[in-house]
Amino acid sequence: MTVRYPLVLNGTTIQELQTGDTVAGIAVSGANSDITSLTGLTTALSVPQGGSGAATLTGILKGNGTAAFTAVTAPTGTLVGTTDTQTLTNKTITALGSYETKVAMAALDIDLSLGSYFTKTLTAGATTFTVSNIPAAGSVGSFVLDLTNAGLATITWTLSVAAGGTSTVKWVGGTAPSSLTASGRDSFGFYTYDAGATWTGYVIGKGLA
């Protein structure tokens, strides 16, 4: 015996259905591809349902990936994206300051990928520094070398490039520093613009407290 169920619309039976029947134009329950648009919703879809959780939106959507989206006021003018090439006009950029990592050297290699301020305590003996991760020619690489008890060591002022080759430092005034502090700090600055082929050095201070 086939049991049929009436499908009533506005008080009028438009079709009798039995189990397994479908009605043209009406989406079935469960996973389906019948729904192509939604109109007339009075309750906003939540974020887990693929919506924003808001009935009306003004501005830009903001969300944290787990809760409902909220709207923030959009700035006037053109928005700048992270990959756009645009010219900023009449904008004020506030600098937050420049911060550098202090690197306490375990050995004698000055690795510019770690920072640009290096510290080292020296003991008696021959000392030659190497420099690694120097930027390519055309870009400037620079660093500060802060030495403690440098007067105890015999420093050869050539910066050996870790990848091979050496470069004699060209000192401001033409003379390498001498009479370094045996118990205390001396500080030096260096820069190169040709991938380490030429280094310029200068004394920041000797006998620093």
Do the Cβ atoms of 122 and 152 come closer than 8 Å? yes
Residue 2: is its pLDDT beyond 90? no
pLDDT at residue number 97? 73
Residue range 113-165, pLDDT digits in tens? 999 999 999 999 999 999 999 999 889 999 999 999 999 999 988 887 766 66
Summarised one tens digit per residue, pLDDT across range 7-35 is 565 666 656 666 666 666 666 677 777 77
Lowest mean pLDDT among 58-72, 75-89, 127-141, 157-171: 58-72
Q: Which domain holds residue 178?
A: 102-208
Report whether pLDDT(110) > 90: yes
For the chain, what is the domain count?
1
Q: Does residue 200 lie within any of the structural domains? A: yes
Q: What pLDDT is recorded for position 31?
A: 77
Predicted pLDDT of residue 107: 93
Name the residue among 69, 24, 23, 66 with its Cα closest to residue 45. 69
Q: What is the model's pTM?
A: 0.56
DSSP 79-148: PPPSS------S-----------EEE-SSSEEETTT-SEEEEE--SEEE--EEESPPPTTS-EEEEEEEE
